[in-house]
Structure 1
Amino acid sequence: MGLTPTRVHKTRIEDCYIVSGDDCIAVKSGWDQYGIKFGMPTKHLVIRRLTCISPKSATVALGSEMSGGIRDVRVEDVTAINTESSIRIKTAEGRGAYVKDIYVRRLTLKTMKYVFWMSGAYGSHPDEGFDPKALPVIQNINYREVVAENVTRPAQLDGLANDPFKGICMSNISISLTAKPKKVLWNCTDIEGITSLVTPKACDLLPEQPKPVDCAFPGDKLAIEGVKLMTCSA
């Protein structure tokens, strides 16, 4: 069983070992018109020192029910073993809101179908009342310091044709492939961003920068990081 933080503010998840048939951590904030109307985002979320095993799902999923918005999520020092993907973004027409200001660093990945996975057409809906013109904003997504081995495809990145995912940054990433990788290693549509020191070379929509770049990770500390956990005994 994984964790599903939904509409949370100033939350810290750390030192967890999760084996799951679904996403190890699924970050959510509401579904379609209901999430838009309620309007409460998930924000200021810290996830660190996580070990995940999930052969059919993600280490950390953002969405697909993200219609209240997801902002300022910081993921670091994560190990995933025999897991379908690392950080997955899932959304669709009708979701509205945003997934933005996502910061990821120091991932160790072993036996993965995908390292990077973004889906703009994760299209299930609770009913027919959703607004297809409510398009999600996906922007400022940062990954750095990633080492992955035994990978089938480095990336499957699919934005929306009239709503591209923007501000994707990947730096200092080394991916070694399985003996039988996919023919197209980086499958990218409707995205915009950059890469720096990434192997194997990314798709043309994520051009390698002529000079090394470090993708962003905030230097400040969120208030929740200063809260000390207390040990209680009977």
Structure 2
Amino acid sequence: MPNKQLVIRRLTCISPFSAVIALGSEMSGGIQDVRAEEIVAIDSESGVRIKTAVGRGGFVKDIYVRGMTMKTMKWAFWMTGNYGSHADNNYDPNALPVIQNINDHDMVAENVTMAARLEGIPGNPFTGICISNVTIELAKKAKKVPWNCTDVAGVSSAVVPQPCELLPDQEPEKRTACNFPEDRLPIDNVQVQMCTYNRKYF
């Protein structure tokens, strides 16, 4: 049974050795429709990370992130299909994961070593990646190549520095905004119950 309709909102995170938002590596049941917004990431390994490998199976799809501010990062975006870790040796080597429809929109970052490391799986690329309206300020000792992309497919628009060729910049009249869904999820309608308690001191 997949994890579906997850909401991450108004989060500030410091994570020097890991990601602020990480999906995987365990995803055999699938992860779908994750919406993250109003995120502040400070001194973290990566802002958004998806990790999987051949033999994991499952899927990560329909991921939407917007309004993220990142300060001092190793990577702003990191996706890998070569995570290489399995719970045991009984996994199916033919089980290929599906990574599809990953949307990042309205983000700023500063002091970043590398804009993105996007590594899909040969013969089974990550598809539907959309990065829009993102400005990444590289660190003084940044990598010479800000984007490293293999076995991925998608588009970009209004992204600085310019993404890799596998995420071509769309012409202005064809640009997409990596639209964030506007419909409300059931969790948005949950009302928090408040209660009070008066304790008598003797």
1: CA distance, partners of 2:44 / 2:58: 28
Which amino acid is the alignment partner of residue 64 of structure 1? S
2: CA distance, partners of 1:83 / 1:226: 32
Which amino acid is the alignment partner of residue 65 of structure 1? E
Which residue is equivalent to 2:200?
none
TM-score (norm 2): 0.95
Which residue is equivalent to 1:149?
110
1:217 aligns with 2:180: yes
Over residues 124-158 of structure 1, what are the superposed CA-to-partner deviations in whole Å (9 max), with x where a residue is unaligned?
Answer: 11211100110000000000000000000000000
TM-score (norm 1): 0.82
Write out aligned runs for 1:177-216 (5 A): 177-211=138-172, 212-216=175-179
1:164 aligns with 2:125: yes
Unaligned runs of 5+ in 2: 198-202
SS in 2 for 1:47: strand
Which of 220, 223, 226 is equivalent to 2:189?
Answer: 226
Which amino acid is the alignment partner of residue 231 of structure 1? M
> Displacement of 1:185 after TM fit?
0.7
> Displacement of 1:97 after TM fit?
1.1
Which of 64, 80, 95 is equivalent to 2:56?
Answer: 95
> Displacement of 1:85 after TM fit?
0.5
> Displacement of 1:216 after TM fit?
2.0
> Displacement of 1:184 after TM fit?
1.4
Aligned residues: 195
Over residues 139-178 of structure 1, what are the superposed CA-to-partner deviations in whole Å (9 max), with x where a residue is unaligned?
Answer: 0000000000000000000000011000000000001010
Which amino acid is the alignment partner of residue 45 of structure 1? L
1:133 aligns with 2:94: yes
2: CA distance, partners of 1:197 / 1:146: 11
Which amino acid is the alignment partner of residue 191 of structure 2? K
Cα RMSD for the two superposed structures: 0.7
Which residue is equivalent to 1:49?
10
Which residue is equivalent to 1:124?
85
2: CA distance, partners of 1:158 / 1:50: 27
2: CA distance, partners of 1:95 / 1:147: 32
1: CA distance, partners of 2:163 / 2:10: 27
> Displacement of 1:182 after TM fit?
0.5
> Displacement of 1:51 after TM fit?
0.3
- Identity among equivalent pairs (%): 61
Which of 64, 76, 81 is equivalent to 1:115?
Answer: 76
Unaligned runs of 5+ in 1: 1-39
